[in-house]
Chains A and B, each alone.
Chain A
Amino acid sequence: DIQMTQSPSSLSASVGDRVTITCRTSQRISTYLNWFQQKPGKAPKLLIFAASSLQSGVPSRFSGSGSGTDFTLTIGSLQPEDFATYYCQQSYITPPTFGQGTKVEIK
C-alpha cells in the first residue's frame, strides 16, 4: 500500500494567515492526489482533486500543487470556517489511502 505522510499534524493560525500543509507519498503517484476538509461530526468534503484542480463550489483561497511524491495544500487567507482537519488521499492505485490528518486550530 502507498503510505501518506502529512505535516504538520496540527497547527495554530489566525484569521487572515496563509497556511500550508504538506503531504508526501511513499511512491510516485503522478498527480493522483486529493485533499479533503473534515469538520467534527461531518463527512470529509473534497476540496482539491488531481493535485491542483478545485472542486466545484470550493472557495478560490484553497489551492493545491505538486506531483510525484510531494504535494502541498495552501489556504491563501484563513477564514473562520476553515478551522478543521485536512486529509490528503492518493487515488493512483487500489487501495486508496489517506494521510493521518492536519488539524488547523485557532491561535
Chain B
Amino acid sequence: QVQLVQSGAEVKKPGSSVKVSCKASGGTFSNYAFSWVRQTPGQGPEWMGGVIPTFATTNYAQKFQGRVTIIADDSTRTVYMELSSLRSEDTAVYYCATGHCSRTSCYGGGYHFDFWGQGSLVTVSS
C-alpha cells in the first residue's frame, strides 16, 4: 500500500512557474510509476505526464510538452512536477497518482492510478 502526500495550495502570476511535490510512503519506490493528473471544475481528469523510475523513463502528454518537467528523487521518495509559463487556464487541482510498474510486472502503457495524493490547488491569477 502506498500513501502519497502532496504539497499545499499555490497562487501564481501568469507567466511564472509552479513546482508541486508528492512524497510517497509504503511500498518500494522503484516498483511504481508516478503520474501527474490535473482536473478543472466539471472536467474529467487529464494526464500530464509521468515517470517510471525502474526504467528511468519520463513521458509527457503532447499538450504539455516543453512546459512540464517531472522528476523522481529516489533518496527522498518524492516526485516533483514543475509547470512553467502559467496562464489562467492552468488553474486546476493537480494530483499525483501511482500504480505498480516494476521490471518484473509492468503492463499496458505502464501508468496506472491505484493510489492518489490529496490534490494541490494551483490558482493562476494576476
Interface residues of B in 31-63 (CB under 8 A from A): 35, 43-47, 50, 59, 61-62
A-B contact pairs, 20 of them (CB 8 A): A34-B112, A36-B113, A43-B116, A43-B118, A44-B45, A46-B113, A91-B108, A91-B111, A92-B108, A93-B109, A94-B59, A94-B109, A94-B110, A95-B47, A95-B109, A96-B35, A96-B109, A97-B47, A99-B44, A101-B44
CB-CB under 8 A for A43 and B119, given A92-B108, A98-B45: yes
Say whether B95 faces chain A, with CB atoms less than 8 Å apart: yes
Size band of the B side of the interface? 20 to 34
Q: Tell me how far the C-beta of B14 lies from the nearest C-beta in chain A, rounded to whole angstroms.
A: 26
Q: Tell me how far the C-beta of B31 lies from the nearest C-beta in chain A, rounded to whole angstroms.
A: 17
CA distance A68 to B45 in the complex (A): 22
Chain A contact residues, CB within 8 Å of chain B: 1, 32, 34, 36, 43-46, 49, 55, 87, 89, 91-101
Q: Which of B43, B112, B113, B114 has the most CB of A within 10 A?
A: B113
Q: Tell me how far the C-beta of A104 lies from the nearest C-beta in chain B, rounded to whole angstroms.
A: 15
| Chain B residues within 8 Å of A44, by CB | 45, 95, 113, 116
Are A100 and B109 interface neighbours, CB within 8 A? no
The SS class assigned to the B binding surface is loop
Q: Tell me how far the C-beta of A97 lies from the nearest C-beta in chain B, rounded to whole angstroms.
A: 7
Are A91 and B109 interface neighbours, CB within 8 A? yes
Q: Tell me how far the C-beta of A101 lies from the nearest C-beta in chain B, rounded to whole angstroms.
A: 5
| Chain A residues within 8 Å of B50, by CB | 94
Q: Tell me how far the C-beta of B82 lies from the nearest C-beta in chain A, rounded to whole angstroms.
A: 19
Q: Closest 4 CB pairs between A and B?
A: A43-B116, A94-B109, A91-B108, A98-B44
Interface residues of B in 75-126 (CB under 8 A from A): 95, 97, 107-114, 116-119
| Chain B residues within 8 Å of A95, by CB | 47, 59, 61-62, 109
Closest to B118 in A: A43
| Chain B residues within 8 Å of A91, by CB | 107-109, 111-112
Q: Tell me how far the C-beta of B110 lies from the nearest C-beta in chain A, rounded to whole angstroms.
A: 7
CA distance A95 to B36 in the complex (A): 12
| Chain B residues within 8 Å of A32, by CB | 107-109
